[in-house]
Amino acid sequence: MTITFVGHGYVGLVTACVFADLGNEVYVIGHTTEKLNKLKNGDPIIYEPGLQEVLKRNLDSKRLHFTNSYEAVNKSEVVFIAVGTPPKPSGEADLSTVLEVAQQIGKNLGNHYTVVSCKSTVPVGTNRKIEAIIKEVVKTADFDVASVPEFLREGSALKDTFEPDRIVIGANNEKATNLLLKLHEGLTGERVTGTLESAELIKYAANSILATKISFANLIALLSEKVGANVEEVLTGIGLDRRIGNIFLSPGVGYGGSCFPKDVMALTHIGTTLGVDMGLLHGVTDINLAIKDLFYEKIKATAPDKNIGVWGLSFKPDTDDIREAPAFYVIGKLLEDDYQITAYDPEATENVKRLLRDKISYSDSAADAAKDKDALIIFTEWNEFKQFDLNELKKLLKKPVIIDGRNIYEPKKMKDMGFTYASVGRKTT
Ligand code: UGA
């Protein structure tokens, strides 16, 4: 098929590459010349394992094209909207870009049947708005709208897209659903088809329950510390019940990224405006904030001397994304307390430099960030940190103090090696 994506963020770019890899002719529309030029030259702009190879492969095969022109819409059977829906101060999703893009698509539809599919995370009812906008722009066009939410995770985006657990397609009629089912034929995973509204709600509900699991784990971590339990033992004990499961139940320094914080707030806003008590999700957000504040308190209590090293700045491993990264929030508070911070992250340093500039120092290696420091703080569980030689780490640090926001080491082992080791939901040893 010939298909077009509007937007080349994580979702647009990764999905476009995957569909090109499956043999489709794929156009990607963007509006920043500098970014489009990089993409045309095989630079994916974002750090995502494996993405550069797939991008280059499909550029070489000439199945993948980047452009700033909406002309591609004209020859496409399916047009995906994959632009951002950032939160407004109220938590409500800002749909201005999505609706603007809908207009442009409407103006450029061809005189054959097209399915305009929304991959952006949008509140229930948005696809009907998109449909109305296109109908207003072009009275006679032969098109349907569909909601095809995306479930890929940063860091494992390609695998998640090639081998998803499920593909959700919401549409008004079978014609649109069938065309999209055909397009997705090369991908694994269960198919869930239904209404536009169901598909729109599935996306928010999925992210919200995942965030709820994390906040629940963090709440149990907090209680574990109070009662002297070990949260890892507690969560293993409950997670082995197959009705509960242990996936996505890791406590830490809170969830971040461009999705969970935004989507939980957006669903809270949707429910509240409909008169539904959204207390559960308010709680999820509140715990996520509180857990970061408590981690900051833990750093102050465990590391009173203020020349500290930081390992990990991205909101999770295997990405350079720092949006809503817990590290960022806690570092901001530590700076107010005059901590001197030297940070290392395998991929995210450049992004942090653009924002924090010389407020902190940056290291080229994990070892350098730890060298001669009064304490080491861990915000992200990169493999490099899990595998670091702890004997070397002890020699590097001025004081053997570690405050670990991702529970990557064993407290007993750390104690035996002579570290002061504070983690999440476990006794400081
Ligand atoms: C999330 C969802 O997992 C994807 O399914 C979804 O497609 C995506 O949002 C989106 O809406 O676009 P992502 O934000 O890339 O993906 O990353 P996750 O792996 O979900 O992690 C989010 C945050 O939760 C990270 O800060 C991570 O450290 C934290 N987390 C995750 C925990 O604190 N504990 C866990 O057990 C799991």
Shared domain for 164 and 289, answered yes or no, is: no
Order of all β-strands in the sheet with 340-344: 361-362, 340-344, 307-311, 375-378, 401-404, 420-422
pLDDT of residue 90: 86
Query: How many whole angstroms from 136 Cα to the centroid of ligand 1?
Result: 38
- The residue segments making up the domain with residue 130 are 2-194
Give the domain-ending residue among 140, 161, 194.
194
**Looking at ligand 1, which residue's alpha carbon is closest to its atom 25?**
255
**Percent residues over pLDDT 90 in the chain:** 97
- 249 pLDDT tier (thresholds 50, 70, 90): very high
Residue 270 included in any domain: yes
Residue 323 included in any domain: yes
Residue 398 included in any domain: yes
> Which of 47, 167, 200, 207 is the pocket-test mutation for ligand 1 (most atoms within 8 Å of CB)?
207
What is the radius of gyration, based on Cα positions, of the chain? Answer: 23
pLDDT of residue 87: 87
**Looking at ligand 1, which residue's alpha carbon is closest to its atom 8?**
153
Q: How far apart are CA 424 and CA 407, in angstroms?
A: 6
Helix then strand then coil, in percent of the chain rounded to 5, is: 45, 15, 40
C-alpha to C-alpha distances, 303 to 109, 221, 298, 411, 416, nearest whole angstrom: 61, 21, 8, 17, 20
Whole-prediction pTM value? 0.95
Residue 412 included in any domain: yes
Shared domain for 273 and 161, answered yes or no, is: no
Q: At what angle do helices 279-302 and 196-227 cross, to 10 degrees?
A: 40
Shared domain for 264 and 186, answered yes or no, is: no
Shared domain for 95 and 236, answered yes or no, is: no
Which ligand 1 atom is nearest residue 151's CA? Answer: 7
Tokens of 264: 């939980």
* Nearest to 297, CA basis, from 250, 261, 333: 333
The residue with greater pLDDT, 282 or 140, is 282
Tokens of 272: 């509240």
Beta strands in 227-339 (DSSP E): 307-311
Residue type (1 letter), 332 = G
Phi/psi of residue 66, each to 5°? -110, 135
> Which of 259, 323, 328 is the pocket-test mutation for ligand 1 (most atoms within 8 Å of CB)?
259
Tokens of 396: 């590097």
Shared domain for 183 and 252, answered yes or no, is: no
Q: Is 120 helix (H, G, I), strand (E, B) or coil?
A: coil
Residue 204 included in any domain: no
Phi/psi of residue 361, each to 5°? -100, 155
**Looking at ligand 1, which residue's alpha carbon is closest to its atom 28?**
316
Shared domain for 155 and 228, answered yes or no, is: no
Shared domain for 154 and 293, answered yes or no, is: no
**Looking at ligand 1, which residue's alpha carbon is closest to its atom 24?**
255
Residue 427 included in any domain: no
Catalytically annotated residue among 18, 59, 259, 422:
259
User: How many structural domains does the chain have?
Assistant: 2
Beta strands in 312-396 (DSSP E): 340-344, 361-362, 375-378
Residue 201 included in any domain: no
Q: List pLDDT tens digits, range 196-234.
A: 999 999 999 999 999 999 999 999 999 999 999 999 999
Domain of 71, CATH number, reads 3.40.50.720
* Residue whose tokens read 């109305």: 132
Q: List pLDDT tens digits, range 33-88.
A: 999 999 999 999 999 999 999 999 999 999 999 999 999 999 999 999 999 999 89
Shared domain for 186 and 254, answered yes or no, is: no
pLDDT of residue 341: 98
Taking the CA atoms of residue 222, residue 287, residue 214 and residue 226 in that order, the dihedral angle to the nearest 10 degrees is 10
Residue 180 included in any domain: yes
Clarify whether 259 is annotated catalytic.
Answer: yes
Name residues whose C-beta falls within 8 Å of residue 321's C-beta, 6 or more positions apart in sequence. 46, 154, 257, 258, 314, 315, 348, 351
pLDDT of residue 92: 87
Ligand 1 site residues (CB inside 6 A) read 121, 150-154, 207, 210, 214, 248-250, 252, 255-257, 259-260, 315-316
Query: How many whole angstroms from 316 Cα to the centroid of ligand 1?
Result: 8
Residue 93 has pLDDT above 90, yes or no: no
Shared domain for 345 and 383, answered yes or no, is: yes
Give the residue-averaged pLDDT of 340-367.
97
pLDDT of residue 68: 97
* Nearest to 66, CA basis, from 8, 14, 18, 112: 8
Give the residue-averaged pLDDT of 185-195.
97
Shared domain for 234 and 309, answered yes or no, is: yes
Give the residue-averaged pLDDT of 99-103.
97
Query: How many whole angstroms from 333 Cα to the centroid of ligand 1?
Result: 24
Which ligand 1 atom is nearest residue 150's CA? Answer: 7
Query: How many whole angstroms from 307 Cα to the centroid of ligand 1?
Result: 31
Mean pLDDT, all residues of the chain:
97
Residues 331/338, Cβ–Cβ less than 8 Å: no
pLDDT of residue 91: 81
